[in-house]
Structure 1
């Protein structure tokens, strides 16, 4: 098997798994989005703390 055919076979297997309900009940989109927003705001705050003109 070549690398391309192995990668294609892996992608087909992954796509077949997504058809049968790939979403997990534990992945709440509001919690995920809120956590991402909090992380980005924290990074923004840290960046502005270190980026002060002296």
Structure 2
């Protein structure tokens, strides 16, 4: 990498934090809901026993 590219990379890194991030509570709640839904589907279709 050339030394001339360094200021451009630093500029991109500094601007990367200016966006709104995802809500961690919403993301975790959605992940929990999806996993519970998959667990429910798996247990409903497992009629082997």
User: Any stretches of 5+ residues in structure 2 without a counterpart?
Assistant: 1-8
Quote the offset at 1:20 in angstroms.
3.5
Runs of 4+ residues over 6 Å off in structure 1: none
Is 1:21 aligned to 2:17, yes or no?
yes
Tell me the number of residue pairs that the alignment of Structure 1 and Structure 2 aligns.
Answer: 39
User: Where in structure 1 are there 5+ consecutive unaligned residues?
Assistant: 1-12
* Distance change (3 Å), C-alpha of 1:47 and 1:24: same
TM-score by length of 2: 0.58
Q: Kindly tell me: are residues 20 and 50 of structure 1, through their superposed partners in 2, closer, same or farther at Cα, counting changes over 3 Å?
A: same
Compared CA separation, residues 31 and 17, structure 1 to 2 (3 A): same
Question: Which structure is larger by alpha-carbon Rg, 1 or 2?
Answer: 2
RMSD (Å), alpha carbons: 2.6
User: TM-score under structure 1 normalisation?
Assistant: 0.53
